[in-house]
Amino acid sequence: MPENHTSPSDWPALNWSDWQPTADTLHMWTQIVGKTRLALTPLQNHWWNVPLYVSARGLTTSPMPLPSGDLLEIEFDFLARHHESTHILQLRLSTGQIRSLRLRPQSVADFFAEYKAALMSLGVDVHINPMPVEVPDPIRFDLDRTHTVYDVFAVERFHRVLMGCDTLFKRFSTNFYGKISPVHFFWGSFDLCVTRFSGRLAGGPPKPDRIQAEAYSHEVISCGFWPGNGGFGLPAFYCYAAPAPAGLGAKPIHPGAWNAAMGEFILPYDEARDASDPAAAILDFLGSTYSAAADAAHWDRPALDRI
Tens-digit pLDDT profile for residues 178-232: 999 999 999 999 999 999 999 999 987 777 788 888 888 999 999 999 999 977 8
For the chain, domain boundaries = 9-143, 152-304
| Rounded alpha-carbon distances, angstroms, from residue 97 to 33, 193, 286, 297 | 18, 32, 42, 50
Tell me the longest C-alpha to C-alpha distance in the chain. 56
For the stretch 251-298, pLDDT in tens is 999 999 999 999 999 999 999 999 999 999 999 999 999 999 999 999
Runs of H (alpha helix) within 122-151: none
Q: How many CA atoms within 13 Å lie on the side-chain side of 1?
A: 12
Percent of the chain exceeding pLDDT 90 equals 87
pLDDT at site 65? 97
Runs of H (alpha helix) within 141-189: 152-173
For the stretch 15-42, pLDDT in tens is 999 999 999 999 999 999 999 999 999 9
For the stretch 72-89, pLDDT in tens is 999 999 998 756 668 999
| pLDDT above 90: residue 3 | no
pLDDT at site 75? 98
For the stretch 91-140, pLDDT in tens is 999 999 999 999 999 999 999 999 999 999 999 999 999 999 999 999 99
Helix (H, G, I), strand (E, B) or coil at 264: strand
- Provide CB contacts within 8 A for 261, sequence distance 6+: none
Helix (H, G, I), strand (E, B) or coil at 222: strand
| Rounded alpha-carbon distances, angstroms, from residue 89 to 59, 61, 80, 123, 238 | 10, 11, 9, 17, 29
- Write down the pTM of the prediction: 0.94
The length of the chain is: 307
